[in-house]
A and B are shown apart, each in its own frame.
Chain A
């Protein structure tokens, strides 16, 4: 009952919830609840994403999605505090953690709410478009979460917008790269290659570029072949 109430509160008025939780006596009680909501939302969304392939990929993706929300937060929050301090804005680590937890839980719940729509889409589209839809849902639902963190910072300071843009960029990049390291979330339905983690290669930006090209019919091996042809043409003209 308390969790349902907190879920309604963080969707309705996240800034108010941050103010409520950022308190000596409230933080100890509310932080685990927010962690629970974050894990619950992310688990649900992960199960939906893993459902594109089905089978063992469902629990694999469900377990990894909460990490996708938590790991960037843990890595980036101390750096954010430093960034804001450079802009002469004093913000406590507890307030940043509170804002991160509220923002993360909000994103996770919104992503879980988008799950049924994504599930429906998965039945209509191919693998590459499904990957882009997955990233798009995370991007759209992640924005309200990032804004919660941005709004939780006290007013004032110099170069505030630089710190704000830096914080949002840092958080977004860390989330994207963590997602890349924790992949695969989506696996082709016909694939037998179900693994918890893949080997580390390239980075998220390279992958998104390749996927975007593949979704419009230009595949990576075509690009490689073109490069090979161009190089052989150059050799031929010499």
Chain B
């Protein structure tokens, strides 16, 4: 078969197939909500960005009511830690654990919301108890987010006066607290 195809046609065909693969991978990354740079990069160098597709399937729990705020606060902290002056902190920081813990707590809230929607009548006591627990849990998540926001300001302080290690420890402590949100909140 190959003997009947010229080298130019074969090369061109492979090039088209490669680009088509790039468009498909870019489309999947776009659908998974990956950054625009990763989507554009995938058109040209998709074999190098395939790990993002695997991660997209295990990226974490389904989004809940606070997902937008969580992403906003953590993105601001990521940007701050990524600043050249805060390199020392970025080394030891574990934002991933904090993000996953907050996502999990947020997903629990979403589950409760779905349950409450289906329980409009009957079992009022249980519904009230669940509502109260949900409110407590949401408050706890918002408290952690507020502290993360404060931590961002402390990065600037650490850049001026030192103490990057203490800052990283604070971040780990917050992450640990966030991972117990569901238990503390009683959900």
Interface residues of A (CB under 8 A from B): 2, 5, 8-9, 16, 20, 23-25, 27-29, 31-33, 35-36, 70, 73-74, 77, 92-94, 97, 100-101, 200
- Give me 9 other A-B pairs in contact (C-beta within 8 A), A24-B96, A31-B52, A94-B51 excluded: A8-B84, A16-B91, A23-B96, A25-B99, A29-B38, A31-B48, A32-B38, A32-B41, A35-B48
CB <8 Å contact, A33 and B37? yes
CA–CA, A56 and B167, complex, Å? 54
A2 and B38 form a contact (CB under 8 A): no
Q: Name the one of A16, A27, A36, A73 contacting B52, with C-beta atoms under 8 angstroms.
A: A27
Contact across chains for A93 and B51 when beta carbons are under 8 A apart: yes
Closest 10 pairs between A and B when the two form their complex, measured CB to CB: A32-B37, A94-B51, A74-B47, A32-B41, A5-B84, A35-B41, A97-B48, A28-B38, A32-B38, A25-B96
Listed A/B pairs (13) with beta-carbon separation below 8 Å: A2-B82, A9-B87, A23-B96, A24-B96, A28-B34, A32-B38, A33-B37, A35-B41, A35-B44, A35-B45, A92-B51, A93-B50, A94-B55
Which residue of the partner chain A has the closest CB to B84? A5
Classify the interface of chain A: helix, strand, loop or mixed.
Answer: helix
By the criterion CB–CB under 8 Å, are B90 and A20 in contact?
A: yes
**Is there an interface contact between B96 and A29, defined as CB atoms closer than 8 Å?**
no
Query: How far is B47's CA from A31's CA once the two chains are assembled, in angstroms?
Result: 12
Given the contacts A23-B96, A24-B55, A31 and B91 also touching, CB distance less than 8 Å: no
Contact check, B7 vs A31: say whether CB atoms are below 8 A apart.
no
A101, B95: Cα distance in complex, Å: 23
| Distance of A21 Cα from B107 Cα, bound (Å) | 27
| Residue among A16, A92, A97, A101 with most chain B CB within 10 A | A97
Residues of B close to A200: CB separation below 8 A: 7
**When the two chains form the complex, which single residue of A2, A9, A73 contacts B48, counting CB atoms closer than 8 Å?**
A73
- The reply to whether the CB of B122 lies closer than 8 angstroms to some CB of chain A is no
CB distance from B60 to the nearest CB of A (A): 9
Interface 0/1 of B126-145, CB less than 8 Å to A: 00000000000000000000
**B178 nearest CB across to chain A (Å):** 15
A94 to B47, CA, bound (A): 11
- Select one of A31, A77, A97 contacting B38, CB under 8 A: A31
A39 to B, closest residue via Cβ: B44
Contact with A along B5-40 (1 / 0, CB 8 A): 001000000000000000000000000001101101
Chain B residues near A23 (CB-CB < 8 A):
96
B9 CB to closest chain A CB (Å) equals: 14
- List B59-92 residues whose CB lies under 8 Å from chain A: 59, 78, 82-84, 87, 90-91
Tell me, in angstroms, the Cα distance from A97 to B96 when the chains sit together.
20
B49 at the interface (CB under 8 A from A): yes
User: A71's closest neighbor in chain B, by CB?
Assistant: B45
A97 to B54, CA, bound (A): 14
Smallest distance from the beta carbon of B168 to chain A beta carbons, Å? 13
Assembly CA distance A94 to B50 (angstroms): 8
A33-B48 Cα distance, complex, nearest whole Å: 13
- Contact A100/B48 with A23-B96, A24-B55 known, Cβ cut-off 8 Å: yes
Q: Which of B136-178 contact A (CB under 8 A)?
A: none
A16, A35, A70 pick with most chain B CB within 10 angstroms: A35
CB–CB A70/B45 < 8 A: yes
